[in-house]
Amino acid sequence: MPLPDHFLKIERSLWTNDADVYERTLVEDAVLVFGETGVITRDTALAAIRQENSDGRRWASVEFDDVRCVFATADTTMFTYRARARWEHETTQISVLASSLYVNRDGAWRLVFHQQTPSASRMT
């Protein structure tokens, strides 16, 4: 699988809102930035995902556009895209611009940084 497709597969897996996927994919000192939460750590994200799952909150759909992959070094990659997603319990979608920074550690691509910036108000 070409590397940009590999990163797209990783990002899609993160949008399943599965805490185990986050735990395997994020480095221990990962930093995540969301408009709703501000800057959070991997542990904070894992706790939030587990709570969302307990509350029955999961993403029903997610679509990716404007996907770009830039290799800063052989072991460091910036992956960006626009996502439109909808929670199962909602009828409207959100639209965000997302950026993820990956490093290759011990032969596996791991997420170091992720940021989502709202790109428009809720969409129908």
Q: What is the pLDDT of residue 3?
A: 65
Each residue's pLDDT tens digit, 28-51: 999 999 988 999 999 999 999 999
Interacting residues of 47 by C-beta distance below 8 A, sequence separation 6+: none
62 in Cβ contact with 88 (< 8 Å):
no
Q: Which residue ranges make up each domain of the chain? A: 3-123
What is the CA 30 to chain-centroid distance, rounded? Answer: 12
Residue 25 to residue 36: CA distance in whole angstroms: 22
Q: Is the pTM of this model over 0.75?
A: yes
CATH fold of 3-123:
Nuclear Transport Factor 2; Chain: A, (3.10.450)
pLDDT at position 4 over 90: no
